Structure 1
């Protein structure tokens, strides 16, 4: 900027959604900083004013190239009791310049998971008799293949599982002694003690 009969001062403006601009009158430059995630042509309007108030105006264009912004992903945690069904947990997946798809995985011994991308939730069903913390890994992918990963924890409360018991049948002749018959007693989360009874007869157990 110049004036044949005095000094000049230049100012610059740009739409706020495009970014910010700072003028260095001493060096005859301006510095433009694009707004976050802005791309396209930014129009900087420069106005030079001389000592007498006369002005000159021009515009300068800065082209900001489009660069893919990766997706973002956050997820809540959940809880439920062992063998009580399923729990639905929310997550938030977003991408400022496209659409996203989220998938979820977890170790098979912990259970299964189904993602509902439309509602932004996943449904976790614990494996039978599983208790403890299940770790669900969520991965969000945008249109350009960029990904974001997070983990979500579902705490499955320990609930006592009752014992199981099966027994075979047996037979013997009257007054012929004793018969030994097998049974199977088990408890997946503890030990068991089994007693036997026969109505109207003497019996024993160990």
Structure 2
């Protein structure tokens, strides 16, 4: 009985103090060149709904497309950091890293490191550093911070939804293709003539634009 009460207490505490989980994608996907071309990187991927009543979800990505050299990122010494070797000795799993809002590519690299421990003498990944960020900070080096956040928001979707509800964007300069009935996404999104027959399905309610 005591064990069950203790377990329930842990679950309840986790529910009360839960914070949004933010796992960045493509934190390594950066290509700077003389043409100053850079691929979208450090992406947030969110399952969003057309409206509050809809059960349909689509994955939306919010990515950085600025050159990393445009920003001065300092290493944050206030957050603990561990090498892959140290994490392995502490029996930390890749699933735990995922729950700790670690970037996806770091999680994959750590799992690869764990997989090859018993089959290879290659220790090149042993010194890879993991920064253990504390919310609202996140990112490969805890360089990002979620400013618009309150304790009632339990997911990244909640944060984004509340933000756009609070700071409504009303534009009168949208160019919509009116000769095709198509749900492009939440208002005020609409289908643009450049998205017709572009090789991608942009209408979320059907392949009407292809």
Q: Which has the larger radius of gyration?
A: 1
Please give the range of the TM-score, normalised by the shorter of the 2 chains. Answer: under 0.3
Q: Which has the higher contact order (CA 8 A, sep 6+)?
A: 2
Which is richer in helix? 2
Structure-1-length-normalised TM-score:
0.17
Structure-2-length-normalised TM-score:
0.17
